[in-house]
Structure 1
Amino acid sequence: MKIMIRGLSRLTTEDKVLALLAPYGLVHYFHLVMDPSTKNSKGFGFAFMPNPAQAKAAIKSLNGMEVDGQKIRVKKAEMKPGEQDGNDQ
């Protein structure tokens, strides 16, 4: 299941988000979206967890958590037209 994480501090790293997700199960990837001109975080990213039950547990537990001084929002990501959950790596 693809997960969107928003509201991240500009200081939050991919490794930190992976560490937050890891207790809930296998994470295939986390991609922190960066501004191409400034190379700074845009404050959101996408993760993929292959087990939907584990992904839902991560969403439930992490949504609203404070990370690096920011309250994050975690939800199931909307799929792009033609995109399949699990084949978007």
Structure 2
Amino acid sequence: MPPLCAGGRSYDDAMAYGVGTYARRQRRRRRQRLERPRSGDESKMSYSRYRSRSRSVDSSDVENPGNNLFVTGLSSRLTDRDLEKHFSTEGEVIDASIVLDPWTRESRGFGFVTMANLKEAERCIKYLDSSVLEGRVITVEKILLTAAG
């Protein structure tokens, strides 16, 4: 009769169910928790392990001059060029982009437009908010960037 281990299973059965792997993983996690520095031990803290893994720009460094617009209610058939053309009636468009689903490459129904200056951006909000584009009513808002925290 083979030797028995956790749960009365044979060693071979336990390995087939991954019991040994699970126990090793739990011990490793417990060890890592014990090795983690306490709040007063910043000198022992590894910067790469505890910093954010986000690759985005630090939000405290971002400045919004007010010419960035958020547009919602966009048709799935709309292109960046169509959006730029619609907003160019109220001023110079620096950039217009529609957000696409990464897998299907279809429009997610919203996008961003950057106007040349604040005055033109405010004119777009005033005249293009609740306007119809490709049979759909769009909303235009100023992007509000706030520091996280």
Q: Same fold (TM over 0.5)?
A: yes
Count matched residues: 82
Q: Which residue of 2 aligns with 1:63?
A: 129
User: Which structure features the higher share of strand residues?
Assistant: 1
Larger Rg, first or second structure (1 or 2) = 2
What is the rounded CA distance, in whole Å, between the counterparts of 1:63 and 1:10 in structure 2?
19
Q: Which residue of 1 aligns with 2:85?
A: 19
Residue 4 (structure 1) aligned to one of 70, 78, 99: 70
- Once the two structures are superposed, residues 9-53 of structure 1 have per-residue CA deviations (whole angstroms, 9 ceiling, x without a partner) of 111111111011112211110111000010000010011113111
TM-score (norm 2): 0.52
How far has the Cα of 1:69 moved from its partner? Answer: 1.4
How far has the Cα of 1:80 moved from its partner? Answer: 5.4
List aligned pairs for 1:36-75, cutoff 5 A.
36-75=102-141
List runs of 5+ in structure 1 lacking aligned partners: 83-89
Letter in 2 for 1:16: D
SS in 2 for 1:16: helix
What is the rounded CA distance, in whole Å, between the counterparts of 1:65 and 1:4 in structure 2?
14
What is the rounded CA distance, in whole Å, between the counterparts of 2:87 and 2:146 in structure 1?
23
Q: Which residue of 2 aligns with 1:87?
A: none
Q: Greater relative contact order (Cα 8 A, min sep 6): structure 1 or 2?
A: 1
- Identity score, percent: 30
